[in-house]
Amino acid sequence: MTITLVSPQIEVMKMDSIQEKNIVYQTSQLNLWYGEKHALKNINLDILENEVTAIIGPSGCGKSTYLKILNRMIELVQGVKITGEILYRNRNILDRSYQVEELRTKVGMVFQKPNPFPKSIYENVAYGPKIHGIRDKKVLEQIVEKSLRSAALWDEVKDRLNQNAYSLSGGQQQRLCIARCLAIEPDVILMDEPTSALDPISTLKIEELVKELKKEYSIIIVTHNMQQAARISNKTAFFLNGEVIEFAPTSKIFSNPKDKRTEDYITGRFG
Ligand SMILES: Nc1ncnc2c1ncn2[C@@H]1O[C@H](COP(=O)(O)OP(=O)(O)OP(=O)(O)O)[C@@H](O)[C@H]1O
């Protein structure tokens, strides 16, 4: 990775060599304050399409905050001030004229704890497309099946689509939430510690799924599990105290980090 000086004050973290993939999110000089607390400090990151980008770092370093800006969920928090720019497909999402509803049709999110609606398995997946005006029963059935297949859950639920989602195991519920997210055909999937509430087998299933999904989607995943970041991501950003300390191909971060603080973190010396 090289650090490119684009002006005397601004350092932008860019990857080496020619980028063949398109940039999905371009973050420039992003700062965020919760009241007095300066939680994100001059973040500069390019996120590429059809890659898994992992965000790692100790508790409270700003990982979730960054993720919540990418779909503007941060707007739900009172007293937040943001400066800088985040371009999603070349449009600044922080611009007031960018409709949040439009952004959310492109950017899906999966949370730490599976959060299915208290509805049937079928209704959970059909919900988004219905909101977007799809009423044709046949079309909805096709979307539900396709989404559940893509989330590697179809075979387990195809005979019980009318059962309540809460009848599923935690790991199945999380894959249902991923299916719900896929049903709106997003471009990007944000995942905030999606396996932290799951057992090791369910965790591996989600990891396999993420590797499969990156063929069609761009995925940004916050994880405390460094083996997980190493197993599934193409690039890793190491956050510390609201700053991006290092952003590089995952193999480089884990085998030959440039910054001593990255090395200390990944070798378990702190955090
Ligand atoms: N709503 C809020 N109001 C005030 N401060 C907040 C708020 N949300 C987060 N913070 C603070 O901002 C900083 C970054 O929080 P954030 O949740 O992004 O960290 P994180 O890296 O995701 O942590 P964790 O790994 O524990 O989830 C922390 O110091 C946190 O206390």
Helical (H) or strand (E) element with 13: strand 11-14
Q: Pick the atom of ligand 1 nearest to 239's CA.
A: 21
On whether the CB atoms of residues 93 and 47 are closer than 8 A, the answer is no
Question: What's residue 13's pLDDT?
Answer: 53
Residue range 170-224, pLDDT digits in tens = 999 999 999 999 999 999 999 999 999 889 999 999 999 999 999 999 999 999 9
Contacts of 7 (CB under 8 A, 6+ apart): none
Q: Global pTM?
A: 0.91
**How far, in Å, from the CA of 18 to the mean position of ligand 1?**
35
pLDDT confidence bin for 10, thresholds 50/70/90: very low
Q: Where are the domains of the chain?
A: 2-266
Q: Is the CB of 37 under 6 A from ligand 1?
A: yes
- C-alpha distance across the termini of the chain, in Å: 24
Of 219, 218, 214, 220, which is closest to residue 239 (Cα–Cα)?
220
With residues binned 3-state (H G I as helix, E B as strand, rest as coil), the percentages for the chain, rounded to 5, are 35, 30, 35
**How far, in Å, from the CA of 7 to the mean position of ligand 1?**
30
Residue range 154-163, pLDDT digits in tens = 999 999 999 9
Superfamily per CATH, domain 2-266: P-loop containing nucleotide triphosphate hydrolases (3.40.50.300)
Q: Pick the atom of ligand 1 nearest to 193's CA.
A: 27
Question: What's residue 269's pLDDT?
Answer: 86
Decide if pLDDT at 3 tops 50: no
Q: Is the CB of 111 under 6 A from ligand 1?
A: no
**How far, in Å, from the CA of 133 to the mean position of ligand 1?**
36
Q: Is the CB of 53 under 6 A from ligand 1?
A: no
- Report how many helices (DSSP H) and strands (DSSP E) the chain contains, helices first: 10, 12
Question: What's residue 4's pLDDT?
Answer: 35
Q: Is the CB of 33 under 6 A from ligand 1?
A: no
> 30, 31, 63, 220: which to mutate for ligand 1, most atoms within 8 A of CB?
63
pLDDT mean over 83-104? 95
On whether the CB atoms of residues 70 and 32 are closer than 8 A, the answer is no
**How far, in Å, from the CA of 39 to the mean position of ligand 1?**
7
Q: What size, in residues, is the chain?
A: 271
